[in-house]
């Protein structure tokens, strides 16, 4: 849960910085999409500790 709070605090600044420097949101969107895909694949491979 704390990951969501941290990501919610960091993401707007990160997106704003990338928009200011690069002029669009597309690059940071690709990066966050790749990270999301990584998290989905990793969560499917994690074993349930129960």
The string of pLDDT tens digits covering residues 1-50 is: 688 899 899 999 999 999 999 999 999 999 999 999 999 999 999 888 88
10: alpha, beta or left? (left if phi > 0; alpha if psi -120 to 50): alpha
The Cα-based distances of 27 to 12, 21, 34 in angstroms read 14, 11, 11
Q: What is the pLDDT of residue 24?
A: 94
Q: For 1-50, give the secondary structure using H, E and C.
A: CHHHHHHHHHHHHHHHHHHHHHCCCHHHHHHHHHHHHHHHHHHHHCCCCC
Give the pTM.
0.71
């Amino acid at each position: 849960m704390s990951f969501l709070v941290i990501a919610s605090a960091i993401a707007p600044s990160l997106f704003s910085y990338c928009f200011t420097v690069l002029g669009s949101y597309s690059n940071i969107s690709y990066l966050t999409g790749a990270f999301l895909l990584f998290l989905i694949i990793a969560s499917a491979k994690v074993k349930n500790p129960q």
